[in-house]
Amino acid sequence: MILKDAEFGEVLVRKNTFSRGIKFSISTSGRLQMSVPSYTTGFLAKRFLNQNRAMIREKLPLKDPSMQRARDAKKKLLAKKAKDYLPYRLDYYATKYGYDYSKLRLSHAGTRWGSCSSNRTISLNIGLMQVPEPLRDYVILHELAHLNHMDHSPAFWAEVAGHDPRYKSHRTKLKHFSPGV
Ligand SMILES: [Zn+2]
């Protein structure tokens, strides 16, 4: 659950069956997160947050909340860009090379640029909208090739190379970017 807070930006609320109290912490992306007992409703979570506002301000090394808000806004914009672009790009290559995927899921969490599941769903990270087009295309072609090879075997790489001859360089360059927003 995510709470939108005027002061702290998006606050991640994690429900934890074993937790008896509320715990505040800062996530790796600099976002405020609270761990709450599993019965906690959105209403209660908001109340906990309000009750602990002063303590959070004082005790947690929260980065500038206005930066957090800026990051949230950026993520929103990126998600919109991704939605307007990635489905068409994926479709373009799927049609061009005769791939049949079941659906596209846009993701934004985690550290992966993309994935392909055994039910033929392809996930692409919205952070792809921040990398140069050849690298973005490489990720798309990589995930499409997984529809035929669910591994990173030589046959898989040969298929990627068939559609993106410069894939090795694209793969290396991609390491300079991070999918997180
Ligand atoms: Zn892969």
pLDDT digits (tens, 9 = 90+) for 91-115: 999 999 999 999 999 998 767 999 9
Ligand 1 centroid distance, CA of 159 (Å): 12
d(CA 124, CA 122): 7
Per-residue pLDDT at 136: 98
Per-residue pLDDT at 57: 81
| Residue range 80-174 in CATH 3.40.50.300 | no
Ligand 1 centroid distance, CA of 167 (Å): 12
Q: Among the listed ranges 40-44, 68-72, 145-149, which one has the minimum average pLDDT value?
A: 68-72
Q: Among the listed ranges 9-13, 55-59, 67-71, which one has the minimum average pLDDT value?
A: 67-71
d(CA 7, CA 10): 9
Domain boundaries, given as residue ranges, for the chain:
2-63, 80-174
The DSSP bridge pattern shows strands 121-125 and 103-107 to be parallel
Chain centroid to Cα 176, Å, comes to 17
